[in-house]
Structure 1
Amino acid sequence: MLTEFVRDHAFTIAWFGLMAVAWFGWSQEDAPSHWRWKLGAGSVAGLALAGVFGYAMVTRWGQSSALEGRYEWFGLLVLVEVVAATIGSLYLQRSEKGRWAAWWVAMVVAAHFIPLAFLVADGSLIVLGVLQAGALLLLARPLKGKQWSTSRIVGPMMGLSMLLFAVVSAALFVTTEGGVW
């Protein structure tokens, strides 16, 4: 995270830690048994980041945010993301292609990082979104020939990218702020 807004920085680390937990959890839907401990470890790491930086965010809540004066745009972006993910997933389910839901939701998440980067004044989110979308596009063709849920591959990829982004951001946070507490 490359932002001057400390509260936003802490929030993003906490949120990405939590989202890593969600993606690693979704991947357990259809993961091979020998992956499960690794996915669980990723979830624990994400949960630890969410807890520590959730605290950092709460203790800095009075500080400024890039979203000041633009909260309604942030809300609209999140609403569009949720609606697009839901409609696409329902369509896939009804057309008997429900195994693609994780891939679709991941693509919506990756795409939403681009306008989000402008709202929170952080270009690193563009890089993350482009890398995620590119990886998802590269995975689409090999996944077509499989019978299992796309969550098997997409979940770990999204979880790991969120976790790595959060870890790098946490290191930057600690370096610039002198600590979390």
Structure 2
Amino acid sequence: MIYLRDYIMSAAIFSFFSFVWFGWAQAEIVQLKHHLWLGICAAIAAISSIVAGVLSYQNFHTASALAKFNSFTWYLIVFYTEFILGLIGALLLIKFKQSPAVPAWISLLVGIHFIALQFVFHDPSLYLLAILMLVVSALAIPINHKFKVAQSTLVGTSNGVILLIFAIFNYSRFLLN
């Protein structure tokens, strides 16, 4: 069962991380017009996150999948595992002079973590989110080599858009229930 509070909290979290990915997308951009568009997308994501955060606060008393026995524990295990692996992998990539691959590495872990979180929240849409982020991760290096687009730009923009779409999707599920 998927809970109303989980929909809006997911919208808040997805919007926030959309904002983060759009910020990361700007790391290696030179042209001002690209910064402008990514900045507008980041602003939309930030506003969306704030609105969803307020709605989450207002609905905090309602039921959540995390209130079920062991769900919150599994959520924390998934989160901390992802964080630790992300940090170790990023440090190793930097050490071996492969820092441009860090965004793809983080995207890969985030995609995998959505598969694990589906078992916590029982929300099949997380499988689609995982697949999309894993595809972005898998294509980042070949596209970078073929088209000379910075991985931070490619992965950041793609994941920013994907997460913002999923935030809007969860807004709609919240509002329609």
Q: Which has the higher helix share?
A: 2
> Please, which moves more after superposition, 109-118 or 3-12?
3-12
Deviation at 1:152, TM superposition (A): 1.4
| Aligned 1:46-125 pairs, distance under 5 A | 46-68=45-67, 69=69, 70-125=71-126
**CA displacement, residues 70-126 of structure 1 (integer Å, 9 cap, x when unaligned):** 211111100000011111100100000011111110111111100101101111001
In 2, Cα distance between the equivalents of 1:28 and 1:140? 18
- Structure 1 regions of 5+ residues with no counterpart? 177-181
In 2, Cα distance between the equivalents of 1:138 and 1:43? 23
**CA displacement, residues 21-44 of structure 1 (integer Å, 9 cap, x when unaligned):** 100001111124221111111111
| Aligned 1:89-168 pairs, distance under 5 A | 89-144=90-145, 149-168=150-169
Change (3 A) 1:66 1:129: same
Answer whether contact 2:93 2:102 (CA < 8 A) is retained.
Answer: yes
Deviation at 1:147, TM superposition (A): 6.8
Answer whether contact 1:30 1:148 (CA < 8 A) is retained.
Answer: no
The aligned residue for residue 39 of structure 1 is 38
Change (3 A) 1:164 1:39: same
Answer whether contact 1:100 1:149 (CA < 8 A) is retained.
Answer: no
Moved over 6 A (4+): none
User: Under a length normalisation based on structure 2, what TM-score does the superposition of the two structures give?
Assistant: 0.92
The aligned residue for residue 14 of structure 1 is 12
Answer whether contact 1:111 1:129 (CA < 8 A) is retained.
Answer: yes
Answer whether contact 2:136 2:155 (CA < 8 A) is retained.
Answer: no
The aligned residue for residue 179 of structure 1 is none
Identical columns (%): 25
Partner SS for 2:66: coil
Answer whether contact 1:110 1:133 (CA < 8 A) is retained.
Answer: yes
Deviation at 1:145, TM superposition (A): 5.7
Answer whether contact 2:15 2:167 (CA < 8 A) is retained.
Answer: yes
**CA displacement, residues 126-163 of structure 1 (integer Å, 9 cap, x when unaligned):** 11101220232133222246777410111000100000
